Structure 1
C-alpha cells in the first residue's frame, strides 16, 4: 500500500517526493560507537533503532513521547551501501525501514519505549505490518551498545509471554544505517492525511504515556486498607478481591456487557481493561485479550483447587481479578484474561470524560 502511494507521488511529481542525486551521494553509514560516544559526552543522550513496518508512522509515534529528543528514518542492517528507496523496495538489499530514536534516559525509560513500540506492531507477523508486505517491513530493535542490547533482549523475552505464537522481532546489534531521502523525514507532519499502518488513537496514547511527574502529588490511585474496603464493597466484591473468591458464571454483572467503555479496579478506580479488547468466550465471565498495559497488573502462579493456573491481580490495589489462559483468539494474541465482574467497575464511553478517564478515549478508536 505505502509503496503504491510513493510511486503515485513520484509519477505526479509531488514536491515533497523530490530528492536529488547529491542528497543520495551524501548519505553515510552510521559510525555506531563513535557517534554514540559523542552524543553521550555532549548531552547524555542514548539511541536505539526501531524497525516496525512503514517508518512514516513509527517515526511519528515516537515523536509524541516525552523524553524522545530526536528521530530520523532510514535503512538498517542491509548488505549494500547508500541504498535508495527504490533499491530497498526491490528486496535485493536486505535493508529494513528503521527509525533512529534519540532519547534522554533521565526523562524516559528504554523499557517504556519498547513497551510502547509493541503496541504499534504485530510482533508475530513476519515481513508484514498493516497493508505493507516485504522484508523491508520486518520488525526489529537494533542497538549500538551492549547494555542497550541486553535490556532489549530481556524486555522482548518478557513481552513474548503475552503471545501464543513465537515472536519474529529481531534483537540484534546495529550493523549499518543510512538516512532515507528527505521526503521520508517527518512525513506525517508534512502530510497529516498520509498513509499509516498505526491506529490513530495510539499517537494520542504515546503523548500521554510519559507525563511529567507532579511534585509532592499524591498518587492518583491508592490501595485502601481492608477495613475501609469492607465498608465500601459489597460482600461478594470483598470476597473476590480480598479473599481470592470466584463469582458464579453467567450470573455476574459484566459477562455479557457489550457497550463501549473502560473497566477499572473496583478497589482503587485504576483503569485495567478497555472494551475494544473484550470478547465473548462462552465461559460466563468477562474475557479480555489483554489489559490496557501489563504495568497495571501482576501475574502469579496459583496452585489452588488442584490446578496450576496464572492468577491476575491489580498492581496498585493488589486485588484478585481472575486468571489468564492461553485459549484466547489467535488473531488477538491468543490470551484470555478471565476476570470476575466483582473485581471491576464499568464506566461507559459517554461518562469517561466526566469521571476522569478522558485520556483513554482514544483507545476506543477503531481503524
Structure 2
C-alpha cells in the first residue's frame, strides 16, 4: 500500500511539472521577439507610414513580398494594446513587418514605392491620422541594410525642398497587433485608408514578372502574321527596298522580333545607309542573334536570325560606319515590330528605356 501511494504521489508531481512546463512554453511562444525567424531566402524590413491598415495592404500588392504583419514598433511598454498605443504616449509607432524575397524585389525598390504612399516631410501626421504613433520610419534588423536605406533616402531627398522627417534606425522591439488589424482592408474593403486607391494598382504593376519570349509554332504564326511577315521570317524572303515599314523610321524606340516580342535592336544604333532597309550597327546583345553562312543566289553572305524565334531577319555586312564598329545589320522591316519610346512602359519594355540615350550622351 505504501509503495502504491508513493507511485501515485510521484506521478501527480510529474503531471504538475509537465503542466507548468507546458504553460511556460505557451507563454514563451506567444511573446513577441525583436527579430522574427525567417528562411535564408527571405529578408525583412519594417515600414511605418501612418495608419498600418493601408500600408500593409499596399505592400501586399508588390511581387516579391512574401508576407506582411501589422504591429507596434520601438516603444517603451511590454505587450501594448491598440488603445494604449493610440494615446501617443507609449513611444510606439504603427508599423508593418514586410518579408520579401530579395531575388524578386530589392530593398531599394521597396523604399521607392513606400515613398509614394507618404509625405516624408510631415511630422507625426499622415492623411487624417495625427500623433506620434503615425510618424514615418524605416526600421531594420540587419545592420547592412542601414547603408542601403540611408543612401536611397538621400537620393529621394533631392526631390523635396523641405527636410525629410522619416526615422531610420534598428528595430528595438515589435509587438504584433490584435487579430482584427491584420489584413484589415482585405476583410473590410470599404474601410478607412489614407493611401489613394490608384496606388494599390500601381504597386501591383511596379515589379512585373520578367517577360519570357518563346518560339511560336508555324501554324500559329500563319494566323498571327501578315503574309509578308510570315514569308520573310519563315521562308527567308526579302521585302522590297524603300517600300517597307521602317527603312525611314528614326523615332526613339525599340525593335522587337515580330514572332516572339523579344527586343533585338534600339533606335540609337540605327543609321541611314541608303540601302532601303532598316540598318543597325549592332543588336542589343550578341546573344540574341545567330549568324549563318548564306550562299543563295550565287552570293556569299552572312544571314542573321533571331536565336529564340529562329526567324530570318536579314544579313550583316562589313560596310557600316567605322565610328560605330563597321558593321551594318540590314534587317527586313517585316521581321520587326517597332515600339516608340512613349509606349515602351505600357508594353512591358520599360527596363530598356535607359538604353535610349542620345548619341551625344554616349560620347560624353
TM range (shorter): 0.5 to 0.7
Which residue is 2:354 aligned to? 315
Name 1:118's counterpart in structure 2: 115
Change (3 A) 1:28 1:45: same
8 Å CA contact 1:224, 1:267 repeated in 2: no
1:146 & 1:117 partners in 2: Cα distance?
20
1:225 is matched with 269
Aligned residue number for residue 33 of structure 2: 30
Tell me which of 144, 160, 164 is aligned to 1:163: 160
Matching of residue 102 in structure 1 with residue 146 in structure 2: no
Residue-pair matches, total: 221
**What corresponds to 1:47 in structure 2?**
44
Give the direction of change, closer, same or farther, for the CA distance of 1:139–1:221 in structure 2 (3 Å limit): farther
**Contiguous gaps of at least 5 residues in structure 1:** 1-22, 232-264, 273-294, 298-313, 321-367
**CA RMSD, Structure 1 to Structure 2 (Å):** 3.2
Structure 2 gap ranges (5+): 1-25, 214-260, 277-338, 360-364
Larger Rg: 2
Counterpart-to-counterpart distance in 1, 2:147 and 2:263: 32
Q: Does the 8 A contact of 1:221 with 1:316 survive in 2? A: no
SS in 2 for 1:150: helix
1:49 deviation in Å?
0.2
- Change beyond 3 A, Cα 1:223–1:175: farther
1:75 maps to what in 2?
72
> Structure 1 residues 267 and 67, CA, compared in 2 at 3 Å: closer, same or farther?
closer
Q: Closer, same or farther in 2 for the Cα pair 1:191/1:219, shift >3 Å?
A: farther
The residue that corresponds to 2:202 in the other structure is 205
CA distance in structure 2 between the aligned counterparts of 1:123 and 1:72, rounded to whole angstroms: 22
Change in CA separation of 1:184 and 1:24 when aligned onto 2, cut-off 3 Å: farther
Q: Are 2:80 and 1:87 equivalent residues in the alignment?
A: no
RCO higher in structure (CA 8 A, sep ≥6): 1
Equivalent of 1:56 in 47, 53, 63? 53
Name the CA shift for 1:53/1:319 in 2 (closer, same or farther; >3 Å): farther
Q: 1:117 to 1:186 in 2, by over 3 A?
A: same
Counterparts of 1:146 and 1:25, CA distance in 2: 26
Q: TM-score, normalised by structure 1?
A: 0.55
Give distance in 1, aligned partners of 2:87 and 2:27.
17
- Cα deviation for residue 68 of structure 1 reads 0.6
